Amino acid sequence: MKDQSPKAASPLSRRSFLKATATAGAAGITLPTIIPRTVLAQAARPGVAARPGANDRINIGVIGTGGMGRNHVHADTVALCDVDSNHLAEAAKRVTQGTPFLCKDYRQMLDRKDVDAVMIATPDHWHALMTVHACQAGKDVYSEKPTCRTIQEGQAMINAAHRYGRVVQIGAQGRSHPAARAAAQYVRNGQIGRVRNVEVWHPNNFTGGGWGEEKAPPPQLDWDLWLGPMRWRPYNPQIAHFNFRWIMDSGGGFIRDRGNHILSIVSWCMGADQTGPVSVKATGEPAKESVWDVPVSMQARWEFKNPDWTLTWNQPGQPKPFPGSDKLIDWGAKFYGDRDTLIVENGDGHCNTEDKAKAYKPPAYGTHIFQSPGHRENWLDCIRTRDRPVMPVEVGHRVVTLPIIANISYLLGRKLRFDPAREQFIGDEEANRFLAQPYRAPWHL
């Protein structure tokens, strides 16, 4: 049984090719060179996206060059965008092959014909709109996690990727980590038995911040463009840049930020990428008197059906020892099967799991999961082949739905029933109003 993975071409086997060559040579026939279709470049035509050839260079632009965005700037990046001119100047120094195009408005980058694909590493409130606009401009997209802020945004991203035939990879790097793959194969091949409960634990959200001081933004920062579709608020140094995570409008706390990584691995291990929970209940300690408004602590519980299992988020959770060592794990997931348990640490680029899972080899008839060559590398491969990446936007949307609806439950203070097929709350119009957020003019999806 094969896991959903990038499609492979059906190459002529080496033995068949050699046999055909020998036969043709004996008959004095010259065989044409056989080149797989996916190796050849393809120009765009109505209803069909452009495809670079296997040896064609993919010109990449990076939107958002501070924080995680620094890691996406390579020596040959052709375009850079940031609303902070200091971030932009620093990123430009990393480009040593040619002179990159620089801008603070990402739409200027999307207008360029020499940009094939973009990597988005902005605060969360920009991910959806930039992805949709990039797809409309004919660019393939790598967007950092979390996928989006609302259910409506995720649906818009999926629709744009499908309509314009673009490859969209979400930056949940655990899907390309060997340890995460090992854990998924171990659990999905029944090595710990039937799993009825998965526990995720994580430290509390950051506290403090105070109210800060509302004042004019620094000269290097275009504050209006930083806010973009988010509702207007005066500049406050307690919000930008890193601290957007502790604001519900722009972040959502650890459950949607770093929690997105481990929730992605849980979904992968449980085979839940195409579905979602039927209920959610979240409680927590409200934020302290501060401009930051995410809860200090949070406990969330999601219930799934067919098969029946429960996922819990404990923040703070009790750190657990990594099996076979004295090391305590600050955040991760524990799978409770009816025969055994399994621990996964973190779930991002620093993911780890127990040796028993890493040593396991599925039988020929078992579930075999595609091994990504690396998250960026897989994305580039799929741009050339037009195949499905390891963390496509559809799956990223399903994963981020978990923290989105947990935050809604926390804000409303009650358990909510959820229809994963319709992606709506059942019998609760007040909760359904949180599934979308109005954008500040002139921005709109």
Summarize pLDDT for 399-423 with one digit per residue, the tens.
999 999 999 999 999 999 999 999 9
Residue 37: name the closest of 47, 51, 48, 49 by CA: 51
Element (H, E) at 223: helix 223-227
User: What does the DSSP assignment read for 280-331?
Assistant: EEEE-PPPPSSS--S-SSEEEEEEETTTTEEEEEEES---EEPTTSSPEESS
pTM comes to 0.88
Q: Is residue 58 part of a domain?
A: no
Residues contacting 282, CB < 8 A, separation 6+: 298, 299, 300, 301, 313, 406, 407, 409, 410
**Percent of residues, the chain, with pLDDT higher than 90:** 83
Q: What is the pLDDT of residue 55?
A: 54
Q: What is the domain count for the chain?
A: 1
Q: Is residue 99 part of a domain?
A: no
Q: Is residue 426 part of a domain?
A: yes
- Which one is predicted more confidently, 403 or 289? 403
Residues contacting 147, CB < 8 A, separation 6+: 127, 128, 153, 154, 157, 170, 393, 396, 397, 399, 400
- Our measurement of the distance from residue 274's CA atom to the centroid of its chain's CA atoms, rounded to an integer in Å, reads 15
pLDDT above 50: residue 363: yes
**Percent of residues, the chain, with pLDDT higher than 70:** 88
Q: Is residue 382 part of a domain?
A: no
Compute the distance between CA of residue 104 and CA of residue 85 in angstroms, rounded to an integer: 8
Q: Is residue 31 part of a domain?
A: no
Q: Is residue 25 part of a domain?
A: no
DSSP helix/strand/coil, 172: coil
pLDDT band (50, 70, 90) for residue 210: confident
Compute the distance between CA of residue 25 and CA of residue 33 in angstroms, rounded to an integer: 14
Domain of 187: which CATH number? Answer: 3.30.360.10
Q: Is residue 233 part of a domain?
A: yes
Compute the distance between CA of residue 314 and CA of residue 255 in angstroms, rounded to an integer: 10
Range of the domain at 320: 176-371+392-435
Q: Is residue 243 part of a domain?
A: yes
Per-position b or e across 298-319, b if 16+ CB within 10 A of its CB: bbbbbbbeeeebbbbbebbbee
Average pLDDT over every residue of 39-56: 50
Q: Which of 14-18, 42-46, 437-441 has the highest mean pLDDT?
A: 437-441
Residues contacting 228, CB < 8 A, separation 6+: 125, 126, 129, 440, 443
Categorise residue 416: left if φ over 0, alpha if ψ from -120 to 50, beta otherwise. Answer: beta
Q: Of 132-141, 235-244, 401-410, where does mean pLDDT reach its minimum? A: 235-244
Residue 300: name the closest of 280, 285, 278 by CA: 280
Compute the distance between CA of residue 131 and CA of residue 161 in angstroms, rounded to an integer: 8
DSSP helix/strand/coil, 356: helix
Residue 75: name the closest of 106, 100, 54, 40 by CA: 100
